[in-house]
A and B are shown apart, each in its own frame.
Chain A
Amino acid sequence: MSDPNSDKTLSVHDLRVRYGEREILHGISFDVPRGETLVILGGSGSGKSTLLRTLVGLQPATSGEVWIRGQDIAKMSEDELDETRKKIGLSFQGGALFGSMTVGENVCLPLREHTQLEESTIQIIMRLKLEQVGLAGFENYMPSQLSGGMKKRAAVARAMAMDPEILFFDEPSAGLDPIIAAGIDNLILKLKKAFRMTIIVVTHELASAFLIADSMLLINKGDIVAHGTREEMQNSTHPRVRQFLDRVPEPEVAEEMDYLQMLTGEAPPKAL
């Protein structure tokens, strides 16, 4: 913790990631100071989930660096990486709840595995976390008995189980009704205030983004289009940013011949 960079909980330098031959992220750099919330915006398939996966070390980077709490994750040993992972939480886009365990057991699992807490204490923590995401009383349900939105919230509860220093959310409120979604925003704000958590949220909900973000990052097809504070983004004149914020649809295919070729499969679509 004596590291001068330690106020930057998360630091990414020129990150490139590819699946096979196809490069998904083309050199991403940004910092997140401790206790701040970064919102990552971007269209579907622009590489947001891939970015999160790389940040927590699930997906190896082709090049570039990811520093978490002052350490380069590529240089960590397996044990060091595990120690770091105990201090971060990730709620997956699809929930990724363990289907063979109840919702309660899902939340208890990291506490049972990584702490010496008494079972009675663990049970109370689990109920606290489920209450915070609006799932009080659902601890004995199996994930298969929950709706999609409830699974997401259970995943958020599980990610928070260990009171992590850094919390990653992959589209936490997609598909939730507006009241529940507002509840999640509220929770994020409270977590930040109560625990000084560093929070990284991928979302499509602009209203939510402007409510919770300290800074925002707009990604398009693997490149950072814009990165700035909430105000800077709001006032940006960058066409891509305006397009995203003003919800302008993608322009129609300009050339009729290109369109015909694309339909008949004679030429690969240019957008890729």
Chain B
Amino acid sequence: MAFFDSIGRNTVGGFAYVGGLARLSGRAAYFTLIGPFRGKALRWSRAFHQAMAVGVEALPILSTITFFVGLILALQGAYELRKFGALQYVAGGVAVSMTRELGPLMTAIVVIGRSGSAFAAEIGTMKVTEEIDALTTMALNPVQFLVTPKFLAMILMLPCLTTWADFMGVMGGAVFGVTGASFTFGGYVQATLDALLKRDIITGLIKAVMFGAVITAVGCYEGFETGGGAEEVGRSTTSAVVMSIFLVIIVDLIFTSLFYLLGR
């Protein structure tokens, strides 16, 4: 009984959580899309700084990770494919897996670790030190001031990062292609381009945008939900990372199923 009880409670809690995320996203969307027409200026310069922090500064680690992921994919793929003497399909396999799935996902994971946690920590600290209250008393809406620039930055940067991740993954695959599977570099790239459909890239980018929204919403929401005390900021940060990974996977599942059904 207690088990079902706790499932029930968690389900209710889960809905409340998602409701909170939706409300926050809705308000951020209002300030992004409708606010500017009502005299509430968009904060492009803040968004730009966020975009630099989210995007450009993530490039080294993201490049390294996705390069290796591409290489791993090629190795794993080749392990099966060589049984059928079909090693020439490695390039296509890597390309499709990267663009449709692992490019967006690995980007999301890196961004969660770097930026999602930072959003929660930043806003959580501001909550604890009453800086959020200070914003409010100065007639500066905290969502407009803090969250909107982050949303803008994330929604713009995640597709860019994902595209780069796809590219680095293909490069990783090419290393195996050239050294382990008798491709020339040019031949590997050609095989990649032949295998990729525009649809593969677009579905990946749609996922990336959704992931960006989820990560921002969770990071900021956890920040705003921070109670009193510095240790609470640590708790918010941790739970922002865990919840973001979980929700990114759920969103990924939903969109992958959708694309699967639509793509038949």
Contact = CB atoms under 8 A, between A and B. Distances in A.
- A touches B in complex, CB < 8 A: yes
A99 B129 contact: yes
A120 B130 CA distance: 29
Contacts of B178: none
Instruction: Give chain A's interface secondary structure class.
Output: mixed
A92 interface: yes
B57 interface: no
B12 interface: no
A53 B141 CA distance: 16
A110 B138 contact: yes
B184 interface: no
Contacts of A81: 139
A82 B137 CA distance: 8
B139 A114 contact: yes
Contact of B137 (A90, A97, A99): A90
Interface in B132-174: 133-134, 136-141
A99 B141 CA distance: 18
Instruction: Give chain B's interface secondary structure class.
Output: helix
Nearest to B38: A79
Interface in B94-148: 122, 125-126, 129-131, 133-134, 136-141
Contacts of A88: 137
A94 B133 contact: no
Given A83-B139, A85-B138, A113-B140, A96 B133 contact: yes
Contacts of A94: 129-130
Interface size class of A (residues with CB under 8 A): 20 to 34
A98 B131 contact: yes
15 contacts: A58-B133, A58-B136, A85-B136, A86-B139, A88-B137, A89-B137, A92-B130, A94-B130, A96-B129, A98-B126, A98-B131, A99-B126, A110-B139, A113-B138, A113-B139
The 4 closest A-B pairs by CB, nearest first: A82-B139, A96-B130, A85-B139, A96-B134
B2 to A, nearest CB: 26
Nearest to B39: A79
B124 to A, nearest CB: 12
A180 interface: no
Nearest to B140: A113
A98 B134 contact: yes
B77 to A, nearest CB: 46
A56 interface: yes
A109 interface: yes
Contacts of B126: 98-99
A206 B32 CA distance: 49
Contacts of A98: 126, 131, 134
A250 to B, nearest CB: 26
Given A58-B137, A82-B139, A85-B139, 8 more contacts: A58-B136, A85-B137, A90-B134, A92-B134, A94-B129, A109-B138, A113-B138, A114-B139
A247 B122 CA distance: 42
A59 to B, nearest CB: 9
B125 A99 contact: yes
A89 B137 CA distance: 7
A117 B134 CA distance: 22
Contacts of A100: 122
A82 B125 CA distance: 24
Nearest to A109: B138
Contacts of A86: 139
